[in-house]
Chains A and B, each alone.
Chain A
Amino acid sequence: ETGVTQTPRHLVMGMTNKKSLKCEQHLGHNAMYWYKQSAKKPLELMFVYNFKEQTENNSVPSRFSPECPNSSHLFLHLHTLQPEDSALYLCASSQVRGDGTGELFFGEGSRLTVL
């Protein structure tokens, strides 16, 4: 599965570090997403970009900062994180048609551990 690629796959960082997660989609889609996955909880939508414009920010703390330079690339910049931010961060893309029928295509995730 190479439609959506995420790097790095694993990241360990201290609470004072600054790091970034990268996502690239090769599907020609017009929307990209960041989700947080924690054990035994529903996926939490963090950010959505449609046509490079941020359309959703679900009350995410400012220590998470997204960047979408073009429709194929999405970044999540991380700084001064907390141990409870440790989770699997999933990037996804979709072709938004305005009728709600499109499905999401996910990357394999970046496993983040905050010490």
Chain B
Amino acid sequence: AQSVAQPEDQVNVAEGNPLTVKCTYSVSGNPYLFWYVQYPNRGLQFLLKYITGDNLVKGSYGFEAEFNKSQTSFHLKKPSALVSDSALYFCAVRDMSMDSNYQLIWGAGTKLIIKP
């Protein structure tokens, strides 16, 4: 079965330090992977996606994610965290099986807290 795991409910990082938000997945076939961010009292915003090609994907707000096929991971990273990066982050994988209608399978989310 297709699935997505975000193993950390919360990640705490000091401002200016690098951050990583982890995501692992399980799919049959090639994965289409997405990261979204949700700021307090807002809807979700698309950050970046991996479809094919370069394993390092760059997205909005200075974020990037590295696709690792052997580890079935798609971790979100940023070299230097800002307090304004504090939000809820969701990883998702597209279910490309024939009867799925290509719907997204979501992780439970990771709360990122950046401390000044």
Contacts and interface: CB of A to CB of B under 8 A. Distances in A.
Q: Do A and B bind each other?
A: yes
A48 B101 contact: yes
Contacts of B34: 103
Interface residues of A, number: 23
Given A40-B109, A42-B106, A55-B101, 7 more contacts: A6-B43, A40-B9, A43-B90, A92-B43, A103-B34, A108-B41, A108-B43
A48 B103 contact: yes
A45 B92 CA distance: 13
Interface of A: 1, 4, 6, 40-43, 45, 48, 55-56, 90, 92, 96, 100-101, 103-109
B32 A106 contact: no
Nearest to B105: A42
A41 B106 CA distance: 9
Interface of B: 4, 9, 32, 34, 36, 41-46, 49, 51, 90, 94, 96, 101-109
A103 B46 contact: yes
A84 B82 CA distance: 36
Contacts of B32: 100-101
Contact of A1 (B45, B94, B102, B108): B45
Contacts of B43: 1, 4, 6, 90, 92, 106-109
Contacts of B51: 101
Contacts of B41: 108
Contacts of A101: 32, 49, 51
B108 A40 contact: yes
A56 B103 contact: yes
A108 B42 contact: yes
